[in-house]
Structure 1
Amino acid sequence: MTSILWFRQDLRLHDQPALRAAAAGGAIIPLYILDDDTPGDWRIGGAQRWWLHASLASLDASLRKHGSRLIIRRGRADEVLRDMLEESGATQVHAVRHYEPWWRKVEQSLGERLCLHDGNHLTRIEDVRTGGGKPFRIYSSFWKALQSFLPPEQPVAAPRKIEAPAKWPTSLKLADLDLLPTKPDWAVDFDGTPGEEEARKKARAFAKRVDRYEALRNLPAEEGTSMLSPHLHFGEISVREVWHAVSDHPDAVKFQKELAWRDFTDGVVLALPDYADKNGRPKYDALHWRTGKQAKADLRAWQRGRTGYPIVDAGMRQLWTSGWMHNRLRMITASFLIKHLLIDWREGERWFWDCLVDADYGNNSVNWQWIAGTGVDANMFSRIMAPLTQSEKFDAGDYIRRWVPELADVPDAAIHDPEAAGCCPDDYPAKIIGHREARERALAAAARLR
């Protein structure tokens, strides 16, 4: 019997439950479909495409070592899968369950021929429920309830050999997907090595320093984070494997809570599929966001890292240059766009979606609404990050110098606010708006809701 193994954001062989199930039944046709139609406006962004190209190449190389190969197609996933079933004579499609709303629609449309397996989360999200049987909307309550499902199951090794079908279907070449930028190649300085081998190597290395995670995670100039987010996003490593890689360390709980946050955000979009487009708290539908020519100019300045706030500009330039941004900077830059510039959080969410290599639908939308105060589990809108204070508190001087080279020669005492210190270089912009002025404007906009 031949089965189709449908890869999406689970591009690995180790601890891959859909692969194990398909292998138990006989021959396998591994298949990846680039579907830009079904997700609609949420088709993967440019930075994700860069990572995806190398990740698919890595997956195909791994499959070939196991006596198999990756078949690549393009089109609407449901149509391609039906065509592939008929063309190949396969009887089933095995896949890891996904929670993005467009994938759920495809899964439902395929009916009994699709065999779904849980493998991208610590546990099956639908099983973590309130006492009333409803999904959690508050993370702290979710984490407490999750304890009864932890630790997760141990990861399972990849099969030694994958049985090939009697006849291989036709396949596109990876280059046919046009995933890489060319004119210009804006990803020339992108950071990271995609693929399962690198993901597992990075997890092992991080496990040796996870005891320093809580102390260093908020310092952008330090190597304090795991850098695993792109690998987890594309499923190049299972979250269970990462969990167990660090579980022997007593100080790993803070990091494990971040892994659980990923499960929580997928649970939110499972309950609220349009969370990336609609406020979690309807009262914020009446918030008066700035629009018009000046707001557009301010948005562009934020995107380019030209706001006059060094910590904000460093974060935005890191994002554009490398395809990734430090977590503390994601919060600072998002808060600045929403509170200082009073620009709709969805503008920032879309920018991150296109520029981040690790832009999860659930994580991206829940995190932006958390900062905006519009989400079901969120900061208060009135809580406004002070970027100059944040910069000094988290010792961002060297980080700023790396990503904002105009400020490379500014002394430590002035690096966080060179304008106020009177040593701002001519080629660096003045502040786009003062902190007090921005704060008062944001609070006034929120007050009108009451």
Structure 2
Amino acid sequence: MDKSIIVLFREDLRIHDNPALFSACQEGNVIPLYIWDEETSHSTSGEAKKWWLHRNIDSFQSTIRSIGGRLFLDAGKIEEILPKWVEKTNAQAVYWNRVYEPKVYERDLKLAHSLSSQGIEVKTYEGSLLLPPWKIKKDDDSPYQVYSAFYRSIRKEQIPEPFPSPEHLKIPTFKEEGISLEDLGLLPSIHWYHVMESIWEPGEEAAFTRLNSFLESSLHDYSEGRDVPSAGHHSTLSPYLALGVISVRKVFHTLIEMKNKPVEPFIKQLIWREFSYTVLLHHPESTTRPLNEKFRKFEWQPNEGEWEKWTKGQTGYPIVDAGMRELWATGYMHNRVRMIVASFLTKHLLIPWQRGAEWFLDTLIDADLANNSMGWQWVAGSGLDSAPYFRIFNPTLQSKKFDEDGTYIRMWVPELNNLPNRYIHKPSDTPADVLEQSNITLGKDYPYPIVDHKAARERALERYEEIK
């Protein structure tokens, strides 16, 4: 008689290349289960990502039904709810793909031990990374501190091939019904997400459509064009990777199989993601504490008024404001612009990177604890292998370089639509007659810069000099 196996889904809402699901299908009857735990399920989930999670669970339910199964839902503390499901379904085993957020990983280790001690078989798998985060180490068995060395090392490794999708699930008979998707309470009570709904299509099929579109139309120009926010050469796969709707191993091997295409620049981005998880595993404190000890003495100077203007896209620097408004409307921001707005917050405004990291986690649909912490510490100069502390982006020059004709700015800061290209990057330098012709009154239609770049840069360098 086949054993009954609960497959616990978390950041792996897919049937393709799902090691836990595939193995369970080979070994017995399968009970697909998703438990929403407010404390540890996708602990990086702000309101935007909860919306995205709701949409993808809904899509995944349909996918599971298409292979003869049903995704059961429940809510509560996983360490309390899962054992009840084991008892109710008379399951003999529980399989899951590992999640590496520190408190989730620690909780899972305890849960696995508890279930095993009760005679329940527990198997865990690598379902979110190319390789487990403890795999790539230096010759002395210590973790890498520098990305370039990590990259060279992992590229020598054999990345496992993706698992095939199961064609059919064998489902045991039991009475437990679970709860409805609406009962998880993931959707905001106010319908503010209409723009996101028009942009993001959930589910595996949509993820593969995005991947194929990127490979066919943008990969060739990715290396040069990825920094131009209006060019559309970025993949926009991160929201799907964040929930495991698409497999990073599948993406990797699809790239490797392409002939006569410049795949390495994008592979490097996938490996940067791997590096961030390695850092998180070995330095779980990196989510809130600077990894460079000197930065623990850095004197920040948070200003609530400036913070609020940054979050609302009202800083007077159009490229910064465009990014923050794109984030609020779509739950996403172009990667180059993420670096610009993060540099502006930490170096021009001297507001702690931790606050910016929290804001991103709350507003991004691709919120990812490892990537987010790594990115913010990189910009602030306080992490491993970070940007030099004295590297302070000039937002106006960044804007001119990567949004030369102001296309991205005009998309998200429409009050500047009528400004000529030469002035759109810094409206405060625009002659009065041009402002009048453009029907713009600074301080009314668009704000003056909340800080002067040169003065802010000098202030930041002075603070960095104090801890150097």
User: Using the alignment, how far apart are the partners of 2:50 and 2:192 within structure 1?
Assistant: 12
Structure 1 runs of 4+ with >3 Å offset: none
Letter in 1 for 2:451: I
Counterpart among 289, 292, 317 of residue 325 in structure 2: 317
Letter in 1 for 2:242: H
Give the aligned partner of residue 447 of structure 1: 465
Counterpart among 170, 174, 177 of residue 177 in structure 2: 170
State whether structure 2 residue 377 is matched by structure 1 residue 375: no
Q: Is the 8 A contact 1:204 1:245 kept in 2?
A: no
Letter in 2 for 1:231: Y
State whether structure 2 residue 358 is matched by structure 1 residue 358: no
Residues 35 and 87 (structure 1), Cα distance of their counterparts in 2 relative to 1, 3 Å cut:
same
Q: The residue matched to 1:95 in structure 2 has which SS?
A: strand
> Where in structure 2 are the equivalents of 1:172-211 lying within 5 Å?
172-183=179-190, 185-190=191-196, 191-208=199-216, 209-211=218-220
Describe the superposition over 1:154-175 as per-residue Cα deviations: whole angstroms up to 9, x where unpaired: 3222111011111152211101
User: Using the alignment, how far apart are the partners of 1:9 and 1:164 within structure 2?
Assistant: 22
Describe the superposition over 1:181-208 as per-residue Cα deviations: whole angstroms up to 9, x where unpaired: 232x221111311111111121112111
Q: Is the 8 A contact 1:284 1:374 kept in 2?
A: yes
Count of matched residue positions in the alignment of Structure 1 and Structure 2:
444
User: Using the alignment, how far apart are the partners of 1:83 and 1:89 within structure 2?
Assistant: 10
State whether structure 2 residue 31 is matched by structure 1 residue 29: yes
Q: Which runs of 5+ in 1 are unaligned?
A: none
> Where in structure 2 are the equivalents of 1:112-151 lying within 5 Å?
112=116, 113-150=121-158
Q: The residue matched to 1:2 in structure 2 has which SS?
A: strand
Q: The residue matched to 2:385 in structure 1 has which SS?
A: coil
User: Using the alignment, how far apart are the partners of 1:242 and 1:20 within structure 2?
Assistant: 18
Q: The residue matched to 2:52 in structure 1 has which SS?
A: helix
User: Using the alignment, how far apart are the partners of 2:253 and 2:40 within structure 1?
Assistant: 35
User: Using the alignment, how far apart are the partners of 2:351 and 2:455 within structure 1?
Assistant: 15
Give the aligned partner of residue 252 of structure 1: 263
Deviation, 1:37, is 2.1
> Where in structure 2 are the equivalents of 1:284-299 lying within 5 Å?
284-291=295-302, 295-299=303-307
Task: Give identity over the alignment, percent.
Answer: 39
Q: Is the 8 A contact 2:44 2:367 kept in 1?
A: no
Q: Is the 8 A contact 2:276 2:371 kept in 1?
A: yes
User: Using the alignment, how far apart are the partners of 1:225 and 1:22 within structure 2?
Assistant: 36
Q: The residue matched to 1:126 in structure 2 has which SS?
A: coil
Give the aligned partner of residue 275 of structure 2: 264
Letter in 2 for 1:236: V
Give the aligned partner of residue 392 of structure 1: 400
Q: Is the 8 A contact 1:9 1:234 kept in 2?
A: yes
Deviation, 1:61, is 0.2
Give the aligned partner of residue 334 of structure 1: 342
Deviation, 1:153, is 2.5
Q: The residue matched to 2:207 in structure 1 has which SS?
A: helix
Deviation, 1:39, is 6.6
Give the aligned partner of residue 239 of structure 1: 248
Describe the superposition over 1:49-72 as per-residue Cα deviations: whole angstroms up to 9, x where unpaired: 010011001110000011101111
Q: The residue matched to 1:149 in structure 2 has which SS?
A: coil
Q: Is the 8 A contact 2:7 2:24 kept in 1?
A: yes
Which stretch has the larger CA shift, 121-130 or 359-368? 121-130
Q: Is the 8 A contact 2:44 2:368 kept in 1?
A: no
User: Using the alignment, how far apart are the partners of 2:382 and 2:131 within structure 1?
Assistant: 28
Letter in 2 for 1:280: L
Describe the superposition over 1:236-278 as per-residue Cα deviations: whole angstroms up to 9, x where unpaired: 1101111122221430100001011111111110001121111
User: Using the alignment, how far apart are the partners of 2:19 and 2:40 within structure 1?
Assistant: 25
State whether structure 2 residue 166 is matched by structure 1 residue 159: yes
Q: Is the 8 A contact 2:403 2:409 kept in 1?
A: no
Q: The residue matched to 1:114 in structure 2 has which SS?
A: strand
Q: Which runs of 5+ in 2 are unaligned?
A: none
User: Using the alignment, how far apart are the partners of 1:332 and 1:198 within structure 2?
Assistant: 29
Q: TM-score, normalised by structure 1?
A: 0.96
Give the aligned partner of residue 228 of structure 1: 237
Deviation, 1:94, is 0.6
State whether structure 2 residue 137 is matched by structure 1 residue 98: no
User: Using the alignment, how far apart are the partners of 1:106 and 1:81 within structure 2?
Assistant: 12
User: Using the alignment, how far apart are the partners of 1:43 and 1:72 within structure 2?
Assistant: 20
User: Using the alignment, how far apart are the partners of 2:213 and 2:74 within structure 1?
Assistant: 35
User: Using the alignment, how far apart are the partners of 1:324 and 1:358 within structure 2?
Assistant: 7
Q: The residue matched to 2:356 in structure 1 has which SS?
A: helix
Deviation, 1:401, is 0.2
Q: Is the 8 A contact 2:10 2:41 kept in 1?
A: no
User: Using the alignment, how far apart are the partners of 1:205 and 1:157 within structure 2?
Assistant: 22
Residues 168 and 254 (structure 1), Cα distance of their counterparts in 2 relative to 1, 3 Å cut:
farther
Letter in 2 for 1:14: H
Q: The residue matched to 1:116 in structure 2 has which SS?
A: strand
User: Using the alignment, how far apart are the partners of 1:274 and 1:195 within structure 2?
Assistant: 33
